[in-house]
Structure 1
Amino acid sequence: MTKPVQLVDLFAGPGGLGEGFSSIRRPDRSRQFKTLVSVEKEASAHRTLTLRAFYRLLLDSDRGMDAYFEYLQGGKHPSSRDDVKDLWLEAEQEALRLELGGEDGNHALEERLHQGLDHDRDWVLIGGPPCQAYSVVGRVRNRGNKSYRPEEDKRHFLYREYLDVIARFRPAVFVMENVRGMLTSRVGKERIFGQILEDLRDPVKATGHEGPEGCSSASEYTIFSLKDDRVYFPRTKGLFNTPDPLEEHEYNSFVIKAEEHGIPQARHRVILVGVRNDIVKGVGVQTMATSLKVDSTDDEKRTVEQAFIGLPPLRSGLSREDSYEAWHEAIKRVATKVANELRSQPSEHLEPEDRKRIAAELKEIAETPHEELPRRHVPNGKPRPVGPTTELEKWYHGAQDPNTKGLWYNHEARSHMEKDLARYLYCATFAKVMGYSPIGTKEIYLDYLAPMHANWKTGKFADRFKVVLKDQPSKTITSHISKDGHYFIHYDPKQCRSLTVREAARLQTFPDDYYFEGNRTEQYVQVGNAVPPLLARRIANKVVEILERAQRGELQQPHSKVLQA
C-alpha cells in the first residue's frame, strides 16, 4: 500500500486547514495525507489541535470511538486511559506547541523535521502565518499609534518562518493562507505582497538557507492562483528568462471567496499554492495552472439556514439572576417596550407601514407563550429516525453514528444584559420582517435601543448590530465574535441571542464532533481564526491531482503555451 503524503501544518490554529487535507481518503479508505507535525503557540488552540490528532488516530485504529466521545461528555481524558494512552502520546508528538520566530521554537521544529521527514517522498507544507499586521482592522489600529513603524513590526515578516521551512526542506507543494489585507499592506511605500511572491519564488535566495542532504535539489517555485489559470508567478519575458511581475490588479486572482465553493459564509482570503519547479516543468505550467483551478461548486450558495439544520434551538441568558421565567419576563417586557416606541416614534428611514409590521411581530412575541428552551445543549445520543442525507449534513456529522442524533458540542448560549436583549430582539425581528439586517442608527433609531457610547452615532460603533440572515451565506466569522455577539445575532427572534461556538463552527464547516478546548472566549477565537475545513478539502483535492500527475510522469503537452493575463 502506498504511504500517505506527509503533511506539515504551521501556524495551525485549531487545525481547520489540516482537517480538510486529512479528510481525503483513497479508494481503499487509507488517508491520502498524514500529518507529521502541526505547530501552534496558543495554549487552548494547541489542546484542540492535539485532541483532533488523537481523534484521527483513534478513528484509524480498530478500538472504536468511545474514548473520544466519553471524554467529550465528561469522562476521562484520553491521556489517563490505559487503552488509548499510546495514541494520545502519538498525538502529542504530532501537535507541537511552539512559537515560531524565536530561536527555541525554530530549533525545535527544525529538529522534528530532520528526524521525521522522508526526503525520498514528496511532502506538502500548509499554514497561515498570523495576519494582525495585514488585516484592515489591525492597520487602522496601528495608524492610531503615533510610534508605530511597519518596518519594525515583526508580524509583517512572520511569513519568513514559513519561508525558512520551504528553503530548508523543499516541499513538493505548499499552501499559504492569509487575510485579503495582505494584498494592500505596505511597508514604506511598497506593497509587501509583491515581495512575498518573489521570496516564495526563490526561498533559498530570500533566506540564504540551503536544503539538507537528501532533499530535492530543485529550490525554486511557481506560485499559482486557485481562481484564475492565467495568473501565476513568475511569468517570464524577453530573452533572459527574467521574472515578469504581476500587475497589482492581478493580485485579486489569489483571493478565494468561500461562498462560491459550497461554504455557508462570505469569507474572502488570500490562498497561494506553490509548486516546486521540477514538478511544474514535468507537467507543464499551463496544465498545472488549469489543474489547480478550483471551480465553483454550483450556482446556488449555501445558506445559514442550511448550515444550522438539525441544531437544537437555545434561549439566551440574563447576565444577572438568570432563569427561564426571568428571561421570559424580560423578553415580554422589552418586546412590548420596543413595539410601543416603534408605533409612537416616527423615522426618517422607515415607512410607517414597515414600523407597524415590525411592532406587530414584537407584540406577538410578547403575547405568545414561549417554548421553554434550554441555554445549553446536553448531548444525549437519542435514536435518529432518518440519517444525514445531503453532502453538507454528512460532512457535519463526522464520525458519529448515523443512527443517533443529539450529539452537538460547544453549543451554549451567552448571557446578555436586558438592554442587549432588546437590541437583539429588535434587530432579529426587523430582519425577519424586512429581509435584511437594520442599518446602524438609521434604522436602529429608538432612544431605548441606543447603547451608552458617546460615539454611538459615529465611528466604529455606528453599525455594530448585525443579524446573520438565514437565507444567505453568513458574513465572515472573525475572532471578534469572542468580544461580544453584536455583529452575529441569530436570525430567530424567539431565541434572542448571538451565535454559539457550534453555530460559528458550522458556518466555518467544522464537523460537529470537532471539539474546541478552552473557555468559551478562547473557543470563539479559535473558530474565528480558522480556515474552513470543507474549503481546505477542496484545495487538497487539487493538490492530490497535481501530485498524481507528477507521479505518473505526465509530460508537458507539445503545443501548450503560457497564457498572459
Structure 2
Amino acid sequence: MTSTANQQIRRIKLERLRAGATPRALEICSGAGGLSLGLKTAGFELTAHIEIDPEAAKSYALNFGAGRAADDAWMLPRDMEACSPQGLVTDLGFETSAGESFDLVAAGLPCQAFARIGRSKLRSVAGEEDAFQKDPRASLYRRFLKFVDDTQPLIILIENVPDILNFGGHNVPEEICETLELVGYRTGYTILNASHFGVPQVRERLFIVALADVLGAEPEFPEPTHFLELPRGYEGSRRVALKHVDRKSGRFHEIHDPARTLPEATGTRDALDDLPVIVEHRTDPAVIRRRKVSDVLEYRTLKNGISAYAQQMRSWPCFEAPFGANGHMVRLTPRDFPIFAKMKHGADYPQARKLAEQLFNETLAQRGLSQRHSNSATYRGLRAEMVPPYDPEKFPNKWWKLDPLKPSRTLTAHMGKDTYSHIHYDSQQARTVSVREAARLQSFPDGFNFAGAMNAAFRQIGNAVPPLLGLAVAKTLHRQLTTSSAGAKEADGLYAA
C-alpha cells in the first residue's frame, strides 16, 4: 500500500502542475540523450540525469547544458549504483528534497545482459550458460526501483530490449509492474517499433509506463504513425520475447499493428540523400584521417528537393542546422571498398564473401596465378588483401548493405567497433555509414553534437533511444499528465481517504 506521506507528496506535485508548472524529469542511464531529447521536445524539463559513460555524459552536457559551466555538477558523469537520489539533489544544489524534485523518472537501463546477442557474448566470456543472469547489470532495475521509492514520481518510464520479457524464463517487466502496483502505481508495458514512428530504422523496444494512482489514469502508448510490414526475423524475435507474457494479468498492452493507410516508413535514401557525398576514403584517405567529428560540411543540393524527414532533421526546435552538419567520419577499410561497390542492396556477408572470392580469382588470372600457387607468399598475401577472413556460416549477418527504399536494420552499440552492419546504399561511395548518417538513421537532429572521437560517437548513437520514438512516447505521457493535472481537484477527492 502507498503510505499517507507518499500520497501527499504526489498530490502536492499534481497541484504544482495544475498551477502551470513544467513537469520535471530525471533520467537514469541517459546515454547521450536520445530519450531526453524526446522528453524535452514534448514539454518536460530535463532537471537532472545520471550517466556513467564520461563521453556520453559530455555529449549530454553539450546538447542540454546551455549556460552551465563545464565543471557544473549537472554536467558530470555519475554511477547510479554509487549515487543516491538525495545525494544527487544535494550535489546539484536543489532547494527541494529528492521526494519533491521530480515528476517523471525515466531509465534506459543497460540491455547487454537482456539482449540475446549480449547473452551469447557473456556466455563466451564467462564460459557459463547462465552468465547473463549473473551479470550485475541485470539487477540494475532493482536499484532503479529504489530511486522510484525515494523520488515518488507521478510517472515512471523504462525502456529496454524486448528480450527482457524472457530473461532466462523470467518476465522482468511483469515483476517491475507488480512491485510498482504495490506502492500505488497503475502499470503497463508493450513493444514499439521505431520504424512505425517515422524513424528510418527497424528497431524493437520494450517500454514500461507506470502512472501514480493520484493521476486517475491508466497507462497509454502512442499509436503508429507510419506503416511497415516487419521482416520475418523480427516477428520470430517477438514470439520468443513474448513467450512468458501473461495476457491475463492485464499489464501487457497488445502490440498495435500500423494501418496500411498510414504513410510508408521512412527509407534510408530519404534519410540520408541530402548529406555530403564522401569519397575521400578512396581518393585521398588523409582527408578522412584529418577530419574531426566536429567538422561541419555543407548539405548537398538535390534536384528534386529534400525529403520531409531530412527537413525535420535540419529544423528540429533548438537543434536547427540549416546549412550543414558535422560527423562526416567514416572507417578506412580499403580491402573492402571494391566489395561494397559491387554488393546489391540488402545483401549481407555471405554475398559479400562470394563477391570477394570472385574479385580475388579475377585478380589471380590477371597476374597469371591459380590455385596451384596457394602455398606461395604472393598468393596468401593477395588473398589477405582482398578476402575477408570471417566464416560466412558463423557470421551471416556481419555485413549488410542498406536498401534505399526501406528503413535500416537496428543500430547497436557495437558500431563503436564495427560499422559493417550498415554499408551505404550508394555504390559510388562504397563505404560504411558516417557518424552523421548513423545519427540520422537513429533520428538525431543535425544540430545534435557528439563528444569524443568517431568510435565513441558511434557507440553513443547505437546505445540511444531514437529521439522520434522517445518523442512519441513522451507526448502521450505529457498529454496524460496535462489532462490529469486539469482534473487534480477531483483526483484529490478520490485519494484523500
Query: What is the TM-score when the length of structure 2 is the normalising length?
Result: 0.73
Cα-to-partner distance string for 1:279-327 (whole Å, 9 max, x where unaligned): 1xx34x4xx54xx4434343411111111142111115259x8369xxx
Partner of 1:407: 324
Aligned residues: 407
SS in 1 for 2:206: strand
Structure 2 residue ranges without an equivalent (≥5): 1-18, 227-261, 361-382, 492-497
Partner of 1:158: 140
Q: Please tell me whether residue 181 in structure 1 is matched to residue 168 in structure 2.
A: no
Return the match for 2:194 from 255, 258, 278.
258
Q: Please tell me whether residue 125 in structure 1 is matched to residue 89 in structure 2.
A: no
CA distance in 1, matches of 2:443, 2:300: 24
Q: Please tell me whether residue 420 in structure 1 is matched to residue 420 in structure 2.
A: no
Matching residue's letter, 2:337: L
SS in 1 for 2:68: helix
Matching residue's letter, 1:467: K
Partner of 2:75: 95
Partner of 2:347: 437
SS in 1 for 2:406: coil
CA distance in 2, matches of 1:420, 1:274: 48
SS in 1 for 2:146: helix
SS in 2 for 1:312: coil
> 1:91 and 1:383, CA in 2 relative to 1: closer, same or farther beyond 3 A?
farther
Cα-to-partner distance string for 1:354-402 (whole Å, 9 max, x where unaligned): xxxxxxxxxxxxxxxxxxxx99995366999999783651343335898
SS in 2 for 1:255: strand
> 1:168 and 1:401, CA in 2 relative to 1: closer, same or farther beyond 3 A?
closer
Q: 8 Å contact 2:115–2:163 — kept in the other structure?
A: yes
Matching residue's letter, 1:275: L
- Write out aligned runs for 1:44-55 (5 A): 44-54=55-65
Partner of 2:312: 394
SS in 1 for 2:465: coil
Partner of 2:44: 33
Q: Please tell me whether residue 458 in structure 1 is matched to residue 393 in structure 2.
A: yes
> 1:496 and 1:164, CA in 2 relative to 1: closer, same or farther beyond 3 A?
same
Matching residue's letter, 1:108: G
Greater shift in the superposed pair: 159-168 or 42-51: 159-168
Partner of 1:314: 278
SS in 2 for 1:143: helix
SS in 2 for 1:22: helix
CA distance in 2, matches of 1:174, 1:544: 12
Partner of 2:402: 468
> 1:99 and 1:384, CA in 2 relative to 1: closer, same or farther beyond 3 A?
same
CA distance in 2, matches of 1:322, 1:392: 28
CA distance in 1, matches of 2:70, 2:487: 35
Structure 1 residue ranges without an equivalent (≥5): 25-31, 58-86, 203-218, 226-253, 325-373, 557-565
CA distance in 2, matches of 1:375, 1:470: 27
Matching residue's letter, 2:223: V
Q: 8 Å contact 1:312–1:377 — kept in the other structure?
A: no
Q: 8 Å contact 2:435–2:457 — kept in the other structure?
A: yes
Partner of 1:534: 468
SS in 2 for 1:516: coil
- Write out aligned runs for 1:335-354 (5 A): none
Aligned-residue RMSD, C-alpha:
3.6
CA distance in 1, matches of 2:52, 2:63: 16
Q: 8 Å contact 2:100–2:151 — kept in the other structure?
A: no
Q: 8 Å contact 2:435–2:458 — kept in the other structure?
A: yes
CA distance in 2, matches of 1:193, 1:199: 10
Q: 8 Å contact 1:100–1:106 — kept in the other structure?
A: no
> 1:444 and 1:400, CA in 2 relative to 1: closer, same or farther beyond 3 A?
farther
SS in 1 for 2:163: helix
CA distance in 1, matches of 2:69, 2:106: 23
Partner of 2:225: 296
SS in 2 for 1:100: coil
Deviation of 1:182 (Å): 0.9
Query: What is the TM-score when the length of structure 1 is the normalising length?
Result: 0.64
| Structure with more relative contact order (C-alpha pairs < 8 Å, separation 6 or more) | 2
Q: 8 Å contact 2:27–2:105 — kept in the other structure?
A: yes
> 1:124 and 1:392, CA in 2 relative to 1: closer, same or farther beyond 3 A?
farther
Q: 8 Å contact 2:401–2:422 — kept in the other structure?
A: yes
SS in 2 for 1:259: helix
Matching residue's letter, 1:490: H
CA distance in 1, matches of 2:397, 2:178: 39
Greater shift in the superposed pair: 502-511 or 447-456: 447-456
> 1:116 and 1:535, CA in 2 relative to 1: closer, same or farther beyond 3 A?
farther
Partner of 2:456: 522
CA distance in 2, matches of 1:511, 1:539: 18
CA distance in 1, matches of 2:276, 2:441: 15
Q: 8 Å contact 2:348–2:396 — kept in the other structure?
A: no
CA distance in 1, matches of 2:433, 2:322: 21
Partner of 2:435: 501
Q: 8 Å contact 1:258–1:266 — kept in the other structure?
A: yes
Return the match for 2:487 from 516, 530, 553.
553
Partner of 1:276: 212
Deviation of 1:12 (Å): 0.4
CA distance in 2, matches of 1:446, 1:384: 34
**Larger CA Rg, structure 1 vs 2:** 1
CA distance in 2, matches of 1:550, 1:400: 28
CA distance in 2, matches of 1:52, 1:311: 21
CA distance in 1, matches of 2:313, 2:355: 42
CA distance in 1, matches of 2:475, 2:427: 40
> 1:93 and 1:455, CA in 2 relative to 1: closer, same or farther beyond 3 A?
closer
Cα-to-partner distance string for 1:130-156 (whole Å, 9 max, x where unaligned): 111001111112233334544532111
CA distance in 1, matches of 2:45, 2:294: 33
Matching residue's letter, 1:46: A
CA distance in 2, matches of 1:464, 1:409: 27
